Structure 1
Amino acid sequence: MLTALNESDRPYAFIDLRGSASWREFYSLISRSFSEFIERASRWGKGEFLKLVSRLRGVSVLGFEVSLNWLPGKRPLLGELFDVLDEVGERTGEKVIIVSDEFQRSRGPIGASLHGAIVHSYDFHRDLSFVLTGSEMGVLYGILGDPENPLYGRAYLEVRTRKLSREESLDFLNRGFEEAGVKGSEVERAVEELDGIIGWLTYYGYLKVRGGDFDSLINEALELAKSEIESFLASRVSKRYRVVLKLLAEGLTELGEAKKGS
């Protein structure tokens, strides 16, 4: 995702929603995203962007670093921050892309605020585009398919990734580690274990860059898979899903046998 955005030379803000359980953490992530946006903004005019964003309540600018107040009544509204990015897009003649990674983690009051701000932008901002990505697709579909969620019914384009071959998986990880300046000593094992599923390969790379060892990475990946399956099942009424998953785990491969077992 980031490689494609950087190669496109389009203005974008990348928000990684991992670790956004509190308002303080969430606004810290937004602050980092805006500061990184400024670092890439030489072609679009850093001074102009800083002038726009510094007018908002709860925004401090020191050099090219942006810091947002997270306290109630003092923090800037997400809609106001999106207003600034929309104006940047209007002035430059290019749509600004806002990427929300691990979007399924946007829950509770923080999620409600983010979802509402995205819907507002969807309806009124002509120079913003949103990309929502996630590794727990059951939860992500649950958000977008919830009639009570403001995002429900909004048109979107879905991009699905195919399974990578062994050679493609090796190239994918090796290139990523090279860009991050990390030595991937367990790449062969990771490719064998993760079986070409690009979401898991990406998650492995992310955790490896942060200093994890392979075994702990695999355990965390298994916990994430368990969480995703539980979220998927929670949104399904029929008990047959659990039966079929159990049969598949036991090595069942024929559809006819699955029907008998369920």
Structure 2
Amino acid sequence: MNSWENKALNFINQTSRWDKEKHISSFLAFSISLVKNLLEADIALQLEFEDENTAKVKNASPHFLNEIVISPDPVRKLLHRHAFKTIYWTEVAAIPDHPLHELLRDLSSAVIIPINTEPHNSLLILGWTTQQVFETAFQDCIETIRLRLKEILTHTQQQLYFQGIAMRFAAILHCLPHAVIFINNDGFSGWVNQKAADILELSGPGEQLPAILSDAMTQLRNRAVNTDDIYNTAIELFASPENAISNWEWKLEGADPRTYRVSCLPVTSQRINGRLWIFEE
């Protein structure tokens, strides 16, 4: 195995470990820095096409290149001329009027790697101040890295997208005037909004173990003056074919007596099987 094959495998191994052990938000920056070090480049950066009029430098090493903005149209034409394949420039100065002059003017050799991802396309640009010879083994190494980088970009964008959705829905559920409790049947996952955390006297909203939620709900039920009615209704609930109930009254006593109208609904999907509890005053 030659040194370029070793570098490609090194890149795959290190990015795989990072994918499992580190936070996704820093995944891409780490990967680009790793490419730079493995290939002994003097610069490495991501050029992202943000819209029709803007292409911006991100995750650059050295950092002072970050946030440079260039016109994307000439770069797109360059990519079209090369059929969106990796471009190898052994002598940057010998290429007249290339659209990446602002980024590469102090370099002798460069590699431009298109990485097509949604919603925005990106390029990885590597540059060297000394002239390079891009032999076949080197190009094979670049192609392996390109495929892995495409996976990283796609994975990063998907993770950030779903994280954004989760944050939005959590914010909405925390603002509801009703207490919302979800207990999964897997025995490991549960969730409460802020109102439910207050009612169940938990340390805070968010993820909670089902055992903790079940114990807190038992304590809440034990404060009720109609405990027998709640117990008998619970037996009917779990025996019913619908496996659901609404307008179930829990009448609490104590220093702050309240009556809650309780609903319990089954939640079933391909990956989720549990119960949603809703407490309305």
TM-score (norm 2): 0.21
Structure of larger gyration radius: 2
- Higher relative strand content: 2
- Higher relative helix content: 1
TM-score (norm 1): 0.22
